[in-house]
Amino acid sequence: FLLVATNQEKMSSSVLRQIIRTVRDNEELRGMLGETIRPAPEWWLNGDLWIEGAINTLQGSIDLSFRFNGHKGSGALHFTSVRKAKGEPFTILRSRVRCDDGTVVNVFRTLHHDPCWI
C-alpha cells in the first residue's frame, strides 16, 4: 500500500506533469513513436503509470524513470536533476529517452539553461 501511495504522490507532482508535457511536445520523439505519446499504464495499478525513483524538491534532487507508449513504439525516460543549494535553480544532469529499438533522444537539451523550468 505504501508504494502505491508514494507512486500516486509522484504522479500528482508538477515536475512529472512538466516532464510528460515536454516529452509529448518533442518533435523527434513524435516522429519515432507516433503522435499519441502517453505514459505506459500498468495493469496491476489499474492503468496508472509506475514511476521508478524519487522526487525530492526540498532536498534538491529529482531522479526518476518511467515508460511511455506511442502508436509506433515505446521507450523509457530517465531524468535526473539536482540543486546545489537552497534557492538556486535545478540543473538537469540526465534527460534522455531510450526507445525500445535502441535509439536515444535527449529530450531536454533546450531546457538546460532555463532556471525557471523546475
Q: Is residue 117 part of a domain?
A: no
Q: What's the whole-number mean pLDDT along residues 6-29? A: 92
Residue 118 inside a domain? The answer is no
In a domain, 98, yes or no: yes
> Bigger pLDDT: 117 or 11?
11
pLDDT-based confidence at residue 61 (cuts at 50, 70, 90): very high
The model's pLDDT over 105-118, given as tens digits with 9 standing for 90+, comes to 999 864 444 444 44
* Residue 19 within a domain: yes
pLDDT of residue 109: 67
Q: Which of 55, 74, 75, 71 is nearest to 118 (CA)?
A: 55
Which residues, listed in sequence order, are joined to residue 63 by a DSSP beta bridge?
Answer: 54, 80
Average pLDDT value over all residues in the chain: 88
In the prediction, which pLDDT does 8 show? 86
Concatenate the DSSP letters of all residues of the chain into one string: -HHHHHHHHHHT-HHHHHHHHHHHH-HHHHHHH-S--EEPB-GGGTT-B--EEEEETTTTEEEEEEEEE-SS-EEEEEEEEE-SSTTSPPEEEEEEEEETTS-EEETTGGGTT-TT--
Distance, in Å, from the CA atom of 20 to the CA atom of 92, rounded to the nearest integer, reads: 15
Q: What pLDDT shows up at residue 58? A: 92
User: What's the pLDDT score for residue 117?
Assistant: 47
Residue 116: inside a domain: no
Any domain includes 10: yes
Range of the domain at 68: 2-111
Residue 56 falls within a domain, yes or no?
yes
Question: Can you tell me the mean pLDDT for 88-95?
Answer: 93
pLDDT at res. 31: 92
Report the CATH number at residue 100: 3.10.450
- Mean per-residue pLDDT, 17-22: 93
Assess if residue 36 is contained within a domain: yes
Half-sphere exposure in the Cβ direction for 25 (13 Å, CA): 8
Q: Tell whether the model's pLDDT for residue 64 goes beyond 50.
A: yes
What is the count of structural domains for the chain? Answer: 1
